[in-house]
Amino acid sequence: MIRRLKDKRLLVVGAATGIGRAVAAAAVAEGARVVIADLAAERGATTARDIGAGFIRCDVADEASVKVTVAGAAEMLGGLDGLVNNAGLQRAGALEEIAVDDWDSLMAVNTRGVFLATREAIPHLRAAGGGSIVNTSSLAGKRGGPGIAAYAASKGAVMAFTTAAALELARDRIRVNSVCPGFIDTPFNNPAIAFMGGREEQARIVERMVPLGRQAVPEEVAPLYVYLLSDESAYVTAQALSVDGGVYN
């Protein structure tokens, strides 16, 4: 069997649960050596043990924490060939009720965190002769939706950052892409589901909005990350690729 990420040294940030966990597990299965980083210390350590990865506790909103994490991962792995910026926070509510603190924490985790980890990883990727950075944006960043204005803004910024970083780093053979998942069934969406009126109402909205008529599970999103982290995507950069059952077209 060809292992598509054989010997790649990868840091996956935001991987204790959900999409990040699925990405880290798929990467290990494809032969990568992986360190995961997450704010959730206990769940992160358990996930790392379960999938065969290393673990570093990290708050992506905190500059010092990100510096220690990226340096620590590079030391544990003997360098870095790839970075996944997947840590994320969700808040939902009517636009005129968004608190400044909520706005700021979404920007700090979803947007600043991507910038910080990318900035810290660049010297390591350059030293490796190039690499791949994959940022988790969202369908919300492409087309928004009721009740998620702040979240949508934070994820739209991730796409703009991805494009700019990709254009700047292309000469270093560092590729930067974002993935835009649609409705993925994780507890992450609970605030948005509550805003929609509960699980049954959300199921009706999903059926109406999603051409494929259903949510996805994290394991259906992970293969796109594997592709983007692998050399199969050597000519793909500055893209925002959707995995959303056909919603954004």
Ligand X SMILES: NC(=O)c1ccc[n+]([C@@H]2O[C@H](COP(=O)([O-])OP(=O)(O)OC[C@H]3O[C@@H](n4cnc5c(N)ncnc54)[C@H](O)[C@@H]3O)[C@@H](O)[C@H]2O)c1
Binding site residues, ligand X, CB under 6 A: 14, 16-20, 38-40, 58-61, 86-89, 109, 136, 138-139, 181, 183-184, 186, 188-189, 218
- Judged by CB, which is closer to ligand X: 128, or 206? 206
Q: How far is the CB of 2 from ligand X (least distance, A)?
A: 27
The C-alpha angle with vertex 239 and arms to 38 and 138, in degrees rounded to 5, equals 50
Identity of the residue numbered 49: R
Query: Residue 10 or 128: which CB sits closer to ligand X?
Result: 10
- DSSP one-letter code for 97: G
Q: CA distances (Å), 38 to each of 5, 21, 70, 126, in order?
A: 22, 10, 12, 24
Least distance between ligand X and beta carbon 30 (Å): 19
**CB of 13 vs ligand X, minimal distance in Å:** 6
Q: Give the Å distances, CA to CA, from 192 to 146, 154, 202, 247.
A: 9, 15, 9, 17
The overall longest dimension of the chain from CA atoms, in Å, is 54
**Which residue out of 151, 225, 227, 248 is catalytically annotated?**
151
Task: Kindly state the smallest distance separating residue 219's Cβ from ligand X, in Å.
Answer: 11
Name the residue among 170, 88, 184, 66 with its Cα closest to residue 136.
Answer: 88
Q: State how far the Cα of 107 lies from the Cα of 73, in Å rounded to an integer.
A: 24
- Closer CB to ligand X, 99 or 248, in the complex: 248
Q: Which is nearer to ligand X, 115 or 128 (CB)?
A: 115
Residue 29 or 45 with smaller CB distance to ligand X: 45
**Smallest distance from ligand X to CB 82, Å:** 17
Question: 11: which strand partners?
Answer: 35, 83
The Cα 17–Cα 15 span in angstroms is 5
Q: Is 227 a catalytic residue?
A: no
Report the alpha-carbon distance of residue 91 to residue 89 in Å, rounded.
7
Q: Which residues are catalytic?
A: 151
